[in-house]
Amino acid sequence: EPEVTQTPSHQVTQMGQEVILRCVPISNHLYFYWYRQILGQKVEFLVSFYNNEISEKSEIFDDQFSVERPDGSNFTLKIRSTKLEDSAMYFCASEPTSGTGYEQYFGPGTRLTVT
Amino acid sequence: AQTVTQSQPEMSVQEAETVTLSCTYDTSENNYYLFWYKQPPSRQMILVIRQEAYKQQNATENRFSVNFQKAAKSFSLKISDSQLGDTAMYFCAFIPQGGSEKLVFGKGMKLTVNP
């Protein structure tokens, strides 16, 4: 069965450095998402992406964050200058079609540790 | 505000028994979708069951069923005949139908099934 994959599984970076988290969504899916979960807290929505543009973003998704689908298969989340509070598990998800209420398929996550 | 509350952080159950996981939510929307996601240790989140708010009939998927009480804004998950493989984090989530695609999650609940 097709799965969403994410790399790396764990990323350690120093404060102020740029990081790129990578995701490969399921191939025929059209909607893409990033969520994050700070340890011990809720999974929070960051951004949704459709038709090569951001369709919705949360207040967390400020100018330090960007997303890209550079080659039609990868979906990346870039954090330009990481802060300690960016330490979290980052989940990518994809969805097959439009319409609210369809299943979002999640990747295994990337654990980002900012030191 | 649209929020999801899972008041029980952790539960355990004996194999073959039945367990109910509670979830309440808050929204001003009338139509929305509710979900239970399961995240086994070191694995990605997978959808367990989905309920459309305009449907009165409670959703069922094999050993998993929900008790959806719209007026009370309650959406509990019942797992019958618990199996060791049910050990996981369980997240309650919903999508309001107002054009948003983002999932709003609860904090999650750790379920352990003991042999």
B65-99: per-residue pLDDT in tens?
A: 999 999 999 999 999 999 999 999 999 999 877 66
Establish if A38 touches chain B: CB-CB under 8 angstroms.
no
A:62-81 residues touching chain B, CB 8 A cutoff: none
- Amino acid in position A63: D
**Chain A residues whose beta carbon lies within 8 Å of the beta carbon of residue B44:** 3-4, 91, 106-109
Cβ contacts of B45 within 8 Å, gap of 6 or more: A91, A106, B37, B38, B39, B91
The two three-digit tokens of residue A44, written as one number: 């929070």
Query: CA–CA separation, B108 vs B90, rounded Å?
Result: 5
* Residue with tokens 């102020």, as numbered in its chain: A16
Per-residue pLDDT tens digits for A10-58: 999 999 999 999 999 998 898 999 999 998 888 999 999 998 999 999 9
Strands B109-114 and B10-14: parallel
Per-residue pLDDT at A70: 85
Q: CA of A10: how far to CAs of A21, A37, A89, A112, in Å?
A: 10, 14, 9, 6
Residue A100 has pLDDT above 90, yes or no: no
Chain B interface includes A42 (CB < 8 A): yes
Decide if A33 and B99 are in contact by the 8 Å CB cutoff: no
Give residue for tokens 């899916």: A29
Q: DSSP label at B70?
A: T
